[in-house]
Amino acid sequence: MYQSHSLKEDLKKSLGPEWISSRSGPGGAKLMYLEGKTAINLANELFGYDGWSSQVKESVVDFFDISDDGKINLGIATTVRVTLKDGTYHEDIGYGVADNMKTKASAFEKARKESTTDGMKRALRMFGNALGNCVYDKTYLRNISTMARSTVSRNDIL
């Protein structure tokens, strides 16, 4: 794939802390992540609104349980392909879970959307740090609050 020098350089940059969200994880750990809407906005800015697309390649129900009280629990794995205008692509698998839902429809909607967004974000990160790959770097995560230089800030993109 041919990329302009500035796009290559932009994709290598780690994201500034203003792009990263956090939530509580197992054992009270703080998990850092890139929100789906943020990943889409970054991809639009880096590749252009018509410079990329995503496609669901496969979606598989991993488990489906109905509890004694009628609540539905569901897990779905979805393979998503992100393709650039020049044909270059990356694929990855996302996962979504719906716990204690009242209806099958609401369980499938939640789990499928979650797994599709997760798969898209995971495929986008393969293009570089500026699309979320930096969140997988332990040194980056330790230092995120003090980062200022060599990061993509909102002013660089938007």
Q: pLDDT digits over 93-127, tens only?
A: 999 999 999 999 999 999 999 999 999 999 999 99
Residue 25: per-residue pLDDT:
87
User: Which residue range is the domain that position 72 belongs to?
Assistant: 5-145
Integer Cα distance of 82 and 1 in angstroms: 14
Q: Tell me whether residue 155 is in a domain.
A: no
Which residue in 23, 46, 56 sits closest to 132, CA to CA?
46
- Looking at residues 139-145, what average pLDDT do you find? 84
How many separate domains does the chain show?
1
Which residue in 77, 90, 17, 16 sits closest to 47, CA to CA?
90
Distances in Å between the alpha carbon of 20 and those of 25, 94, 130? Answer: 15, 19, 11
Q: Tell me whether residue 151 is in a domain.
A: no
Integer Cα distance of 100 and 72 in angstroms: 5
How far from chain centre, in Å, is Cα 127? 12
Residue 30: per-residue pLDDT:
86
How far from chain centre, in Å, is Cα 111? 15
Residue 149: per-residue pLDDT:
45
**Amino acid in position 142:** R
Binning pLDDT at 50, 70 and 90, where does residue 155 land?
A: low
Q: Tell me whether residue 93 is in a domain.
A: yes
Q: pLDDT digits over 70-97, tens only?
A: 999 999 999 999 999 999 999 999 999 9
CB 96 within 8 A of CB 111: yes
Residue 147: per-residue pLDDT:
61
Q: Tell me whether residue 136 is in a domain.
A: yes
Is the pLDDT score of 3 beyond 90? Answer: no
Q: Tell me whether residue 68 is in a domain.
A: yes
Name 152's bridge partners: 15
- Looking at residues 39-65, what average pLDDT do you find? 97
Integer Cα distance of 83 and 28 in angstroms: 36
CATH code where residue 60 lies: 3.30.390.80
Integer Cα distance of 114 and 55 in angstroms: 15
Binning pLDDT at 50, 70 and 90, where does residue 12 land?
A: very high
Q: Tell me whether residue 82 is in a domain.
A: yes
Residue 21: per-residue pLDDT:
92
Q: Taking the CB of residue 86, how many other CB atoms lie within 10 A of it?
A: 12
The set of residues, in sequence order, having a beta carbon less than 8 Å from that of 88 and lying 6+ positions away, is 1
